Every structure is written in structure tokens, then in C-alpha cells.
Structure 1
């Protein structure tokens, strides 16, 4: 909320041109973004994929990992820190690999395959009982998550017209960040029913794997995005 207020009061310097910019309300720009996304089947699937990742992976991981360490691994704060570090190291490795490869072709296919593998790694994590195996799974998970986000983002930005780029990326960010608290609430509710955290983590991961497989098979236009 504080960040939103600060952004609201940012002043854009006047340009030395005679162009006249029509001021639009938030809802007008938001509506333009929604209309633009609705006109593209690829962007619709991207938004839906973002929703799936944040609902069924990010929430269970962020909220469930401390419980997983305590209840399944019988670990302590140091074990939790090592698992968290595993995710960070994996994301760094994935980012470096994608940066070195400098992908310009088959970015949609690579992103979907990486998302599929990340879901598998997270599902396997939920059934591990050894600390080093859990860290290894999280390294794979983090690397594949980076290998999903970076190609997807760069490919989608290259497809969107510059005049609506901010609106559409803002909508995708809203679908991403805005649903994380919802994911926390869902995870907390399921936990309150007495279901073990490793079943929740496995269930979310399996749903993401099934969804990714469905998209890969049925949405050729996203699979073929360069």
C-alpha cells in the first residue's frame, strides 16, 4: 500500500513536444489490458498459467516449507535456512544458464517443459525425508522456475504492442502477485482440516504438472512461441 501511494505521487517530467496525452483512469487502462489479453489466446493461457503457478506452487512452498521442515524432516531453523538457500541457488543457476544460452527460439516450449519439471521436483520434494534430498529437489525446482519465468516474460514482451505493454504486463503481475495471499488462505484452510502439509504440497505440484501437460498438448501456439 505504501508503495502504491509513493508511485501515485511520482511526477513525470513534461516533454518538450506538442503531443497531448489523454489522461485515463486506472479502470480505463485496466480495461484496455483485459481487452488486449482477451484478443490473444496465447496471452490468455499465459495469465492462466501465472495464476496456476502462484495458487498451487508459490503459496504451498512459502507457507508450507517451515511446516515441512518441522513436521516431516524433524529439522530446525538451520535446516529451513538451507532449504530456502537451495531455492535461491537453483534460481541463480537457472538464470545464469538462460542468460548464457541467450534463447531466441522455442522459448514457449522450453518454458513449459521447465514448468513441468519444476512441478515434478516439488512433488518429489513433498515425499522426501532426508535434508540433502530436499535441498537437491529445491535446487532443481528453483532452476526450472527461472527457466520458466525468464523465457516466458521475454517472449511475451516481444509479442505485445509497445503502447499497451505496461497495461498487459501489469495485468499479468496482478494475476501473479495478487493471488499469492489467496494461495496462503487456501493453504491455511486445508491445513485447518487436519491434512498434512506434504500432501498439500504434493497435491498442488501434481495439479501444476497436469495443467502444464494439458497446455503443452492442446495449445500449440504457446508451445511454438519464439
Structure 2
């Protein structure tokens, strides 16, 4: 099938299968941590804090991580980050097994995972180009990677809901710990012809400046990254409040919360499969704009859904919009950035995506405390729609300006 064409490459196939298992464990742990914190504290603000510390390192470290990845062997960095993540999951599992319900410790381990992820995500994304021999299949590989991520987003919370109800949080954390064994096995089986970069004489700070000048100097790349930053800051964090919707608004339990995550994951898979089937990447800007509008409107619908089934249906559409938005921007950057700047361009994508979400999560938690969860989510949906309108207006003006410049050049 055309949609699976990237799996013909051995390295990408090993990466795909190993990550498929590991990401299910990651989502099990993510769901269990959110439920555990809210069960112990009942605090919307602390939910935001946990999300904040797990993602804020990406805002601070992502550009630095991009420069590090560009200077060193990406494969070795990936192995190191995966081993460290495995140890973090094991520490969390043992802590909960022995009933050490220490919120500061949970926050500390979440911060550690965030630091590792700042390097891991940049490295994984930039290494993908080395796993696909025919570069025309790179957009398909990116879309399949997103499909895998979002299938895990369905399976992980669904399994976590069952495990949480039957056994408890510690089993979820041990499940994540064990899930790193297949991904490390697959990494060791890969045979990558990664080019180890020549040791740069430039300082990291100089390379950081070069990366910023490159991204900010390209209006197409910078506008896409700014749109993602706005979405990550004001819209995507609505998901932080879903434990409150599940427990307090719809009077549910851990299983109910897992349905919210799985519903969004289902929508994400639909988008990912659509993107994987694309034969060209020429319409990525239009796809991103449409997806952003769908995302903003569906968040608005979730805010005031009167019954649980309606809320879950709208959650599916939030997954459709968010997945298509982020994946289209990711693909655009990877296919348009020059090779020497790819990791640094991706690092700004990671910073705009993963780095802004924690700040937004704190804002969402504060808004929910001040105005209530429904109004907080409503405000986020409105901002999403307005941001999309501004982006579309900017692109139209840009296109009009280019058309005028083209006619002027022809006249001369």
C-alpha cells in the first residue's frame, strides 16, 4: 500500500516498530501521572505545574539541543536519551510501588524527562532523514511516524484506564519502563550511515545565532513556527484540563479520563493516515490553515458539550485538527530547511511546540481556577480561531506582495 511505502527501508522499519511499543508505555505513564496528581491533590493548578515542568525544558534547551545534534553523532545521542528515559520511568515506578506519594519528587522526575525530551525529540526528528534512502519518501515517513505516535495515544490511555482501575499507577509506570527494551533492541539492530559532522570551530553560541538568523530570515519558516507557537501557548493546553472534565464535570473516573485521551488520539490517527497518503507536499500551508480552524472550533465545542458522548466526539475533531496542524508544519520544515540547518530549524519547531505548551498549561490551570474549566477551554478555542484568521490574512498579503514584485520585475 502507498501509505506504508516508507516501511520498505530496514532502518525506518526497526525505528517504527520499536517506537510503537515504547510510545504506548509513554502514554500510559503520562495518563497515570496526570490522574495520580489530580487524585492526590484535587488541584487544577498542580496539573498545570506537572505539565509545565515536563515540557518547559524544550523552550529553554531546544535551540541548544539543535546545535548539539548538528555537532555530534545523532544515533549515539538517541541511544543515550532512550536509556535515560528508561531509568526515569523505573525510578517513578519504584517510588509509587513503595507508596511514596511525594508530589515534589513526581514533579522533579517530570522535569528530568522534560530535559531528556528536549534533546530526544530534536534528535529523532533530524535522524529520520538518514533512515529513508529515497528523500521523496521523507514526508511519508514523517506522517507514518505521526500515525504511530497517535495510535499509541489511543492505546496507551485506554490501557492505562484499565490498569489504573484494576492495579494502580505503579503498574502503568513499570509498563513504561519495560517498553524501552524493544526500542533499544531495535536501535542496536539498525545500520545507519550517519555522517559524523566535522568538529566545528565555532562556539555553540555562534551556531545558535546562525540558527536563529536562518529561521527568522525565512518568512515562510518563521510564520509557520509562530503559528505553531501561538497554538501551543493558547490552544493545545486545553488538554491539561481534561482530568477535571472527566472527574468533576462528567462525574467519571480514571477510565473516563482515558476516553478523552483516546478520542483525541483517534482523530489524530485519521489526520496522520490522510497526510501519509499525500503524493505531494505542495499544499502543506493550506492543510495547516484548515486544520488550525478545525482545531479551534472543536475546542470551543468541547468547552460547552452538555453530555459525555458529545464531548468525546468533539475530542476526536480536536485530534484531527491538532495532528494535521503540527504534522504539516513539521513536514514543511524538514522538507524546506537546508541540510546544514535542519536540526536547528527542527529545534525551533520543538521549542514552539513542546516549549510553549508548559507555559500555556500553567495559564490554563490558572484560568480554570479563576473562571472555571468550561470558560477557560472556551477562551482557548476562540484564540485558536483568531490566530488562524490572522495567519491566513498574513499569507494572503504576502502572496499579494510577491505578485506585485513579480509584475514590477517583468515591467523592468
State the TM-score, normalized to the length of structure 2.
0.48
- Once residues 82 and 106 of structure 1 are traced to their aligned partners in structure 2, the CA distance between those partners, rounded to angstroms, is 32
Relative contact order, higher structure (CA 8 A, sep 6+): 1
Question: Gapped runs of 5+ residues in structure 2?
Answer: 1-111, 124-192, 400-412
Q: Residues 112 and 216 of structure 1 are in contact (CA less than 8 Å); yes or no, is this contact kept in structure 2?
A: yes
Superposed, which structure 2 residues align to 1:29-48 within 5 Å? 29-48=207-226
Q: Mean Cα displacement is larger for which, 165-174 or 150-159? A: 150-159
Question: Gapped runs of 5+ residues in structure 1?
Answer: none
The 4+ residue runs of structure 1 with deviation greater than 3 A are 4-7, 13-16, 23-26
Q: 1:172 aligns with which of 318, 338, 349?
A: 349
Superposed, which structure 2 residues align to 1:66-105 within 5 Å? 66-105=243-282
Q: 2:392 aligns with which of 213, 216, 225?
A: 216
Partner secondary structure for residue 208 of structure 1:
helix
Over 3 Å counting, the alpha-carbon distance change for 1:165 and 1:191 in structure 2 is same
- Once residues 204 and 133 of structure 1 are traced to their aligned partners in structure 2, the CA distance between those partners, rounded to angstroms, is 19
Over 3 Å counting, the alpha-carbon distance change for 1:154 and 1:127 in structure 2 is same
Superposed, which structure 2 residues align to 1:122-141 within 5 Å? 122-141=299-318
Give the number of the structure whose residues are more often helix, by fraction: 2
Query: Alpha-carbon deviation of 1:199?
Result: 0.7
Query: Alpha-carbon deviation of 1:71?
Result: 2.8
- Once residues 387 and 320 of structure 2 are traced to their aligned partners in structure 1, the CA distance between those partners, rounded to angstroms, is 20
What do residues 116-173 of structure 1 show as CA deviations (whole Å, max 9, x unaligned)?
1111011111110211111111111112222222222222222211111111111221
- Once residues 277 and 198 of structure 2 are traced to their aligned partners in structure 1, the CA distance between those partners, rounded to angstroms, is 43
What do residues 75-110 of structure 1 show as CA deviations (whole Å, max 9, x unaligned)?
222221111110111111111121123343321011
User: Which is higher, the Rg of structure 1 or of structure 2?
Assistant: 2
- Once residues 15 and 135 of structure 1 are traced to their aligned partners in structure 2, the CA distance between those partners, rounded to angstroms, is 46
- Once residues 50 and 101 of structure 1 are traced to their aligned partners in structure 2, the CA distance between those partners, rounded to angstroms, is 21
Superposed, which structure 2 residues align to 1:141-156 within 5 Å? 141-156=318-333
- What is the alpha-carbon root mean square deviation over aligned residues? 2.7
Number of aligned positions between the proteins: 214
